[in-house]
Amino acid sequence: MNAPTKTAATPASFALGSIAVAIAGILLKAFAWQLTGSVALFSDALESLVNLAAACGAYIALRQAARPPDVSHPFGHHKAEYFSAVVEGVLIIIAALLIMKEAWDVLFDPRPLQDLGVGLFVNSLAAILNGAWAWHILRRGRAFRSPALVADAKHLFADVATSIGVIIGVIAAGMTGWYILDPLLAAAVAVNVLWSGWHLVRDSVGGLMDEAAPEEIRQEIHEQIQLHGAGSIQAHDLRTRVAGQRTFLEFHLVVPRDMRVADAHRICDAIEDGLRGKLGDIHIAIHVEPAEKAKPEAEVIIAESPPPPANPASAG
């Protein structure tokens, strides 16, 4: 009898986990807010509502991005993840504005805080849960090279930092009786949330605009071409872009003029195998050119370029 096979984890499955964690965080933080009446804890709970909406958006986008290429989308659906990250950033900004409004209303009518011990303990449980899950999905998001998961993890880390600051501030307000610290702290939380939302939108729009692959990936590309391109002369006009989990690469590979097509093809295969072995899901397009097309500003030099053939018309 064959043992049952395990279903491989996917980015979408981790997004489902984020939905569950967000719901748990909302319940814990809302309970803490109801116990204490703290607008700062309210701001923390409201950010968890954004976590839930963002996790749902990430799940939908990741399911879409996982669809195989089709006639209408021959390069796949990877950019769907960036739309999710943009939506998440916009939601974060909206949450920040709502927090600012609540903080402004309470600023001129500070409220005494109640049941701080139990309330802050409950809020701390939510922070610990978010921190543990954020650390986990950040590692998995980088392994999958998933912008949606990485964005979700970074947002959760920002949420943890916010929770820690809120807890410290609320303790200070309760101990000193300066209840005005509560709305001031909520306003500070709003500014921090607004800043993280802006960065998320900016980075995601960069992905939609076909930004080049990060420097470490470009360096790996150069090294793999150098390592596996023996027999060719150089590689130039390297262009990269990143769409979700996939890197797109195209470049010109210069080979000796008298090289057979089969030999040039073998070199291209060796380079492609090396790149995929290091970078995983990468789409590669290589244009083979003869020696006279070599350029002095080539990104990768593999061998010295031979002199161009003599022109028969100028002989004698």
Secondary structure (3-state) at 7: coil
Residues 278 and 158 grouped into a single domain? no
Can you give the CATH number for the domain in which 202 is found?
1.20.1510.10
pLDDT at 312: 47
| Within-domain flag for 6 | no
Distant-in-sequence, close-in-space partners of 148: CB < 8 Å, separation ≥ 6: 11, 15, 58, 61, 62, 65, 81, 84, 85, 141, 244
Q: Are residues 221 and 148 in the same domain?
A: no
Q: Which helix (H) or strand (E) holds 24?
A: helix 11-36
CATH number of the domain where residue 271 is located: 3.30.70.1350
pTM exceeds 0.75: no
Residue from 86, 84, 90 nearest 64 by CA: 84
Note whether residue 312 is domain-resident.
Answer: no
Q: Is residue 298 part of a domain?
A: yes
Does residue 261 share a domain with residue 156?
Answer: no
Within a domain: 316: no
Residues 143 and 226 reside in one and the same domain? no
DSSP summary character for residue 280? S
Residue 250, classified by CB atoms within 10 Å of its CB into exposed (0-12), middle (13-18) or buried (19+), is: middle
Of 158, 173, 208, the residue at which a domain comes to its end is: 208
Same domain, 290 and 146: no
Residue 105, Cβ neighbours under 10 Å: how many? 11
Query: The domain containing residue 235 runs over which residues?
Result: 215-305
**Residue 162 and residue 230 share a domain:** no
Please report whether residue 226 resides in a domain.
yes
**Do residue 194 and residue 240 come from a single domain?**
no
For residues 198 and 236, state if they share a domain.
no
How many domains does the chain divide into? 2
- Rounded Cα distance between 233 and 303, Å, is 5
Q: Give CA–CA dist 67/213, Å, rounded.
A: 22
Residues 64, 276: Cα–Cα separation, whole Å: 23
Residue at 294: amino acid letter:
A
Answer whether residue 311 is part of any domain.
no
Are 147 and 239 in a shared domain?
no
pLDDT at 314: 45
pLDDT in tens, the chain (316 residues): 444 444 567 777 888 898 999 899 989 999 998 888 888 888 788 777 777 877 777 787 777 766 777 777 666 666 666 666 677 777 777 777 877 877 787 777 777 788 888 989 999 999 999 999 999 999 888 888 777 788 778 878 878 877 887 888 888 888 888 888 888 877 887 787 777 777 777 766 766 666 778 888 899 999 999 999 999 999 999 999 876 667 889 999 999 999 999 999 999 999 999 999 988 878 899 999 999 999 989 999 987 665 555 554 544 4
State the Cα–Cα distance between residues 110 and 103, nearest whole angstrom.
Answer: 10
Same domain, 138 and 63: yes
Q: Of 192, 208, 224, which residue sits at a domain end?
A: 208
Is position 148 within any domain? yes
| Whether residue 81 is found in the same domain as residue 45 | yes
Residue 86, pLDDT score: 72
Last residue of a domain, one of 166, 183, 208: 208
Q: Are 170 and 125 found together in one domain? A: yes
Looking at the domain assignment, is residue 229 inside a domain? yes
